[in-house]
A = this chain, B = another copy of it.
Amino acid sequence: MREGKEEVLLSSEGISRRGLFRNAGKLAIGATAAAAMTAGGLSFLSGAEAKGGRTEKWPWPYVKLDPETTAEIAYNDWYRLFCGAAVVNSVFSQLREKVGEPYNSFPVDAFVFLEGGISGWGTVCGSNAGANIVSNCIIGPRIAESADGMLMGSEMMQWYSEARMPVYMPKNPKVKTEIPKTVSNSPLCHISVGRWMKAANKDLMSPERKDRCARVTASVAYHLVELLNQWKDNTYATKGTIPSKTCGITGQHNCTDCHGSNVPAPPLPKKMTSEK
């Protein structure tokens, strides 16, 4: 199952970053005067770019962070903010101190809702959503100057799905006993948590499950900062792809994991059909 996913992802054609650029420079400009925002310390925005007083100029200023420090912040923040907001805060709280705006203006706590796969629905693991928020806020969206933000987010989800989680061991874990490591084969909370719960035979409200998710959050924060530091050093070469671009439907490539042997064939564009 895991090998199947890797095989397809590795053999599929990589998405050209250049090919993803479109609408570059088409920043949405509101009507509010630039004056209000430039007074707010957003000095990295020029007057022309800041029309509408918004933070939509990329990349956001970034200074390299220590992965271990970031992971420790994420681990401890989990117990207040849970997975998604903890990943965001582990990076943005340091950049608030080191840089200031636009990180001061980002409402991190509002993203507590990413917990439990968005309001407890078990969809995407909040730490993956948080990693995408961070990479896309800092590097920018693919409709701006670079697709690396989205591709780094996608790479984080692939890494998450294939890693033996939790990867990171906090310095002073709240749960002292050893806990199992599991491979989710999925970026979804329900599957990631469910597979771990089954392996550990621990319930959702157990201290071990909570600490497992706090450590997963720390693991994601650690690896995300490793990639961001490479990007800052101009050495980042994304391993990310946009899965839906290569298989005709939005989804990762390990179809049998949910569908078993009965994988539905999506209607394919003529181009993809003729290539088959």
Contact = CB atoms under 8 A, between A and B. Distances in A.
Interface of A: 23, 26-28, 30-32, 36-37, 39-42, 52-56, 58, 80-81, 85, 89, 93, 96-97, 100-102, 104-113, 116-124, 128-129, 132-133, 136-137, 140-144, 149-151, 153-154, 157, 187-190, 193-194, 197-198, 201-206, 240, 242-245, 248-252, 258, 264, 266-269, 272
Contact of A28 (B93, B136, B272): B93
A32 B105 contact: no
B105 A53 contact: yes
Nearest to A189: B250
Nearest to A54: B104
A203 B39 CA distance: 48
A54 B121 contact: no
Contacts of A109: 27-28, 56, 140-141, 143-144
* A-B complex: 10 closest residue pairs judged by Cβ atoms: A40-B40, A122-B251, A122-B250, A120-B244, A105-B105, A123-B124, A120-B242, A112-B141, A53-B104, A119-B154
Given A118-B157, A119-B150, A267-B203, A111 B141 contact: yes
Contacts of A96: 30-32, 52, 54
Contacts of A141: 85, 109-113
Contact of A100 (B36, B41, B136, B153): B36
Contacts of A31: 96-97
A188 B190 CA distance: 12
A197 to B, nearest CB: 5
A264 B258 CA distance: 13
Contacts of A120: 154, 242-245, 250
Given A197-B249, A198-B267, A204-B250, A28 B190 contact: no
Nearest to A157: B121
A28 B89 contact: yes
Nearest to A135: B113
B107 A55 contact: yes
A200 to B, nearest CB: 8
Contact of A102 (B56, B105, B123, B242): B105
Which of A132, A137, A149 is most buried by chain B, counting CB atoms within 10 A of its CB? A132
A203 B122 contact: no
A250 B56 contact: no
Nearest to A60: B107
